[in-house]
Amino acid sequence: MAEVHVMDHPLIQHKINFIRRKEVGSKDFRSIVGEIAALMCYEATRDLKLQDVEIETPICKMVGKELSGKKLAVVPILRAGLGMVDGMLNMIPAAKVGHIGLYRDPETFKPVEYYCKLPADCDEREVFVVDPMLATGGSSSAAITMLKEKGVKHIRFMCILAAPEGVARMQKDHPDVDLYIGALDECLNEHAYIVPGLGDAGDRIFGTK
């Protein structure tokens, strides 16, 4: 069964609480989403493998540690996932970036696919799928299915807010995918929005409402 990591870092909790406020405008919302993504990236990469590497400092030779193992990729689910990409790349600048375009049909809440462009070697990479919101889980589950169909075997999912319904859906559909969650909220409302949530993440990041 997948591991579910709910972030307990005080900076992450403080920043999430800030962007929940309805009066926060797009400029601040967007930049703090980026900061949260960077902090979450730090937590979600704790178990990456290291190898010993011999280097020479200006003083002497030494054996230090560097990342080994699989190369990394970040795959945002469009649109709102875009808001997390720069924060991730600040921490893991060598990662390649793929894009999956999905929107949630407002009547059925089912995801509709409209774009998919991934690094050619993404099946050899450790892929971090990012989306600020895990509500019903339909979008993230569909995005991960698309990645698996392209042969990707090592996937982690990161979101800023999750509803228990979305976590359950991901655990059922993708028990092999570890979840990194900024804050776990109470439930979904009748429009399948997260409660208490922060509203529509894409609209708040891009100022479209």
Is 57 annotated as contributing to ligand binding?
no
Q: Does 192 contact ligand PRP by CB under 6 A?
A: yes
Full 3-state SS string of the chain: CCCEEECCCHHHHHHHHHHHCCCCCHHHHHHHHHHHHHHHHHHHCCCCCEEEEEEECCCCEEEEEEECCCCEEEEEEECCCHHHHHHHHHHCCCCEECEEEEEECCCCCCEEEEEEECCCCHHHCEEEEECCEECCCHHHHHHHHHHHHCCCCEEEEEEEEECHHHHHHHHHHCCCCEEEEEEECCEECCCCCEECCCCCHHHHHHCCC
**Active-site choice (104, 125, 169, 204):** 104
Of the pair 10, 106, the CB lying nearest ligand PRP is at: 106
Q: Does 159 contact ligand URA by CB under 6 A?
A: no
What does DSSP assign to residue 193?
-
Is 34 annotated as contributing to ligand binding?
no
**Active-site choice (108, 121, 145, 208):** 108
DSSP reduced 3-state for 153 = coil
Q: Which does 166 bind (CB under 5 to 8 A by kind): ligand URA, ligand PRP, none?
A: ligand PRP
- Give least dist CB 153 to ligand PRP, A: 23
Token pair 């005080």 is found at: 10
Is 173 annotated as contributing to ligand binding?
no
- One-letter amino acid identity for 124? E
Where in 9-48 is the site for ligand URA (CB under 6 A)?
none
- Give least dist CB 136 to ligand PRP, A: 3
Is 45 annotated as catalytic? no
Q: Does 78 contact ligand URA by CB under 6 A?
A: no
Q: Does 137 contact ligand PRP by CB under 6 A?
A: yes
- Give least dist CB 25 to ligand URA, A: 16
Is 104 annotated as catalytic? yes
Find the binder of ligand PRP among 41, 73, 127, 135 (CB under 6 A). Answer: 135
Residues annotated in a binding site for uracil: 194, 199-201
Tell me the catalytic residues. 104, 108, 200, 203
Residues annotated in a binding site: 79, 104, 131-139, 194, 199-201
